[in-house]
Amino acid sequence: MGKFVVMEHPLIKHKLSILRDKNTGVKEFRELAEEIAMLICYEATRDLPLTKTKIETPVTGGEFETLENPKIALVPILRAGIGMTGAMLALMPTAKVGHVGIYRDPETLEPVEYYCKLPSEIAEMEVFVIDPMLATGGTAAATVSFLKKRGCNNVKFLCLIAAPEGVARLQKEHPDTDIFAGALDLYLNDHGYIVPGLGDAGDRLFGTK
């Protein structure tokens, strides 16, 4: 079973509490989402394998640790995942970015990919799927499935807030995918919102309603 890691860092807890506040405006919400994403990204990349590389410093030569696989792909799920991408790019500026858009067919209830543009070599990359809210887990699980069909076998999932239902579904469908969450909340309400949550992450990030 992959890891499920909930952040315990006081800075993340503090920033998340302000993010949840319904009186936090769009500018501050965006900034906080990026700051929290960067801190979660720091944790989510902790296990990336390292290798020894020969490097000449101005003083001497030596073998130093570098990423074994520096090919990294960020895959924000449209649209709210975009609100976490810039911060992760700040930490990993050479990462490639793929975008995935998925909706649920109202008749079949099956996830349908309406947009997908991925880096060409994604199968060889360390892939980080990004979505602020892991709610039912349907979209997250479908995105990981799409990525696996394209040959990816190294996929991690990052979110700001997870619901137990979403964690259970993603773990059940993709037990090999590590999940990193800023917080684990209580449950999903009848409208599919995470409780206590922060409302609609996309609306709050982009100022829509």
Q: With beta carbons less than 8 A apart as the criterion, state whether 9 and 36 touch.
A: no
Tell the smallest beta-carbon distance from residue 191 to ligand URA (Å). 9
Site residues for ligand URA, 41-80, by CB under 6 A, read: 80
Pseudo-torsion of CA 123, 128, 133, 139, nearest 10°?
A: 0
192, amino acid identity: G
Query: What is the C-alpha to C-alpha distance for residues 180 and 157, in angstroms, rounded to an integer?
Result: 6
Q: With beta carbons less than 8 A apart as the criterion, state whether 77 and 140 touch.
A: yes
Tell the smallest beta-carbon distance from residue 80 to ligand URA (Å). 6
Q: Is 182 in the site for ligand URA (CB under 6 A)?
A: no
User: Alpha-carbon torsion 39, 196, 203, 26, what sign?
Assistant: negative
131 is catalytic: no
Candidates 102, 116, 111, 147; CA nearest to 129 is 147
Candidates 39, 33, 35; CA nearest to 80 is 33
**Catalytic residue (one of 150, 203, 204, 208):** 203
Q: Is 158 in the site for ligand URA (CB under 6 A)?
A: no
Tell the smallest beta-carbon distance from residue 192 to ligand URA (Å). 6
- Look up tokens 């709210």; give the residue: 80
Q: Is 197 in the site for ligand URA (CB under 6 A)?
A: yes
Q: Is 133 in the site for ligand URA (CB under 6 A)?
A: yes
Interface residue with ligand URA, options 135, 140, 147, 181 (CB under 6 A): 135
Q: Is 4 in the site for ligand URA (CB under 6 A)?
A: no
Q: Is 200 in the site for ligand URA (CB under 6 A)?
A: yes
Interface residue with ligand URA, options 86, 201, 207, 208 (CB under 6 A): 201
Interface residue with ligand URA, options 4, 42, 193, 206 (CB under 6 A): 193
Q: Closer CB to ligand URA, residue 126 or residue 131? A: 131
Q: How many C-beta atoms surround the C-beta of residue 183 within 10 A?
A: 22
Q: Closer CB to ligand URA, residue 25 or residue 192? A: 192
Q: With beta carbons less than 8 A apart as the criterion, state whether 151 and 178 touch.
A: no
Q: Which residues does the annotation mark as catalytic?
A: 104, 108, 200, 203
